[in-house]
Amino acid sequence: MKKLVVLTALTLFMLSCKQDTKESVAKLEPAPEIPVEDFFKNSEKRTFRLSPNGEYVAYMAPYKNRMNIHVKKFDSDNVIRVTSVEDRDLSGYFWANDNRLVYVRDKGGDENFHLYAVNKDGTNEKDLTPFDGVRAQIIDDLEHDQSKMIIGLNQRIPQVFDPYELNIDSGELKLLYENPGNITGWGTDHNGNLRLAYVTNGVDNTIMYRSNEKTPFEEVITTNFKETLAPQFFDFDNGDVVYALSNLGRDKTAVVKYDLKEKKELEEIFIDKDVDVDGISYSSERKTPIFINYTKAKLNRHFLDKESKDLFTLLEDKLGADNEYYITSSNKKENKFLIYLGNDKTRGSYYYYDKESGNIDHLADLSPWINSSHMAEMKPITYTSRDGLTINGYLTLPVGIIPKDLPVVINPHGGPWARDNWGFNSEVQLLANRGYAVLQMNFRGSTGYGRAFWESSFKKWGQEMQNDVTDGARWLIDEGIADPKRIAIYGGSYGGYATLAGITNTPDLYAAAVDYVGVSNLFTFMETIPPYWEPYKKMLYEMVGDPKTKDSVMMKANSPVFHVDKIQAALFIAQGANDPRVVQAESDQMVEALREKGVVVEYMLKKNEGHGFRNEENRFDFYNGMVGFLDAHLKEKIKM
């Protein structure tokens, strides 16, 4: 395997110590051991949102250990708690208008989300979508008409969503268009008119368009699912032109202007040679696009508007350039803003910026009990896979410990068509605090690195995708950072699959493994997907494998449940009973197969959780269990 071409963490450390190694090493101060709960307890305050008139601010704060909505007027200290949910944290919320807020919640992690509304004084709380087994989605919050919203419901057909106009006071629903059964998404213009429909046959995607709601939808373009033309918003005359993300004729996704009526691209606005763009933002007040986000090792912005560039320059000048900044909310006039600031050593802070006064005021720290000097740096790294691909990732080394022969946790991300990003990660910081180095890698298939890199993962679960993970572990060994006898692997969802594939494919590499809501059997996984994933099943067959064809041989070879006899590592499995994506049977069958072989496996099943543990006490149980498990199998060998 090729060595890293840049200086390794070990080399950098040794260079920093070369003038007086003994003295420098003697000054090393490992961080104090921080309680697990400090990393995973609920924030004192988070998710701040401004009312449209800018007079009120809402935020989430704990009530009986559950995150609930609180509201206060800016010039008052009087805080009103407007929700009192006790069973499960709310999933999200926003201001619908100056008086009413809408929030989202499910039951026990089943992901059948309901929409609720409540007044800012806590009165008139109402379940707007009181339908069992139905999932609600927000299509448009109708900024121009704040008494209504456009939502999608899969009440009529579980596999697809019909668009409805929803009255947020009464809950009255008006069907806007009956889904014929093949429409998987909808798009509106700036006036809330339903003008785009997205159709799929499973592998080909079609954009349908109409110039107004009185005319029929007509086909604009049909592409294979591997190609992207994704309208983001209409131009501000609400005509036929949209700003869109596109990789048509490109490997990297660009921001373009596209004419839906003429069915052609008008202009390429921005493209990066190395990575896909993430998205484009606009100002509703000034009716102009303002910046484009794209992520390399860290977040980057390409500004389209001087006013926005000046704002972010001001934030960096006043609050520091080593942070990432996001505008999370603004009033309708866009002269008052809520800003989130974050980095790799803090969970972040919220600030209030008043454009007229120029003042930037601190509102809250998400975890003020975290001492950033005790947190570890997340360093961007690259290594080369065995077949020559560049794999990007992040290496986090424990504070104050020589990065040599360390116990390591390999941490592949979920998705798998997602990516790891730079920033504070509670899991990673906990492990680093306990003396572990942590390697996160954006293996092939991770999003953001272009179409070819993404497609190279198709039907490669447990194969080349897994090799990229293995190659990361081998790279750490070659660099002298990892103790080859003390390597663990941990991941959730697809990362859980990669964990199980790691200990079956390369049983000699890992001493311990933690599988969190991970797939164990590719056959049963494909059979138990949620109903609203059903339209994409043919696409999943191309990306993962078709169990009804010759792919079945490959899928069996790469389903860890059929290879438990190879496992040598200690294994800890955690699962939510209500998980709709990776159902409980995925973990049950793995545990059963191991126990039939006489292999001891720890199993944590939470009856009131889904795809990941949302409730605070369950997070405490899991992460205390995880670090205890890893310490028992690795840490007794640590020499600090």
- Dig out the tokens for 69 from the structure: 């909505």
Amino acid 380: pLDDT: 98
Which letter does DSSP use for residue 40 in this model?
H
The answer to whether the beta carbons of residues 558 and 462 sit under 8 Å apart is yes
Evaluate the omega torsion of the peptide bond into residue 530 and state whether it is cis, within 30 degrees of 0.
Answer: no
Beta-strand ranges (E) seen in 315-449 are 324-330, 336-342, 349-354, 360-365, 378-384, 390-396, 406-410, 437-442
Distance CA 89, CA 470 (A): 36
The answer to whether the beta carbons of residues 537 and 529 sit under 8 Å apart is yes
- List b or e across 529-549, with b for residues whose CB sees 16 or more CB atoms inside 10 angstroms: bbebeebbebbbbbbbbbbee
Amino acid 636: pLDDT: 61
Q: Beta strand pairing status for 218-224 and 173-175?
A: unpaired
Amino acid 166: pLDDT: 96
Amino acid 599: pLDDT: 80
Amino acid 395: pLDDT: 98
| List of the chain residues with pLDDT < 70 | 1-27, 636-640
Q: Which residues contact 274 (CB under 8 A, 6 or more apart)?
A: 252, 296, 449
- List b or e across 385-401, with b for residues whose CB sees 16 or more CB atoms inside 10 angstroms: beeebebbbbbbbbbeb
Backbone angles phi, psi at 638, to 5 degrees: -70, 130
**What are the C-alpha distances in Å from 628 to residues 329, 430, 621?**
40, 12, 11
Provide the 10 A C-beta neighbour count for residue 480. 16
Provide the 10 A C-beta neighbour count for residue 32. 9
Distance of CA 572 to the CA centre of its chain: 23
Secondary-structure class of domain 376-637 per CATH: alpha beta
Amino acid 6: pLDDT: 36
Task: With CA atoms as reference, report the closest residue to 301 among 322, 330, 272.
Answer: 272
Q: Beta strand pairing status for 79-81 and 92-95?
A: unpaired
- Dig out the tokens for 100 from the structure: 């009413």
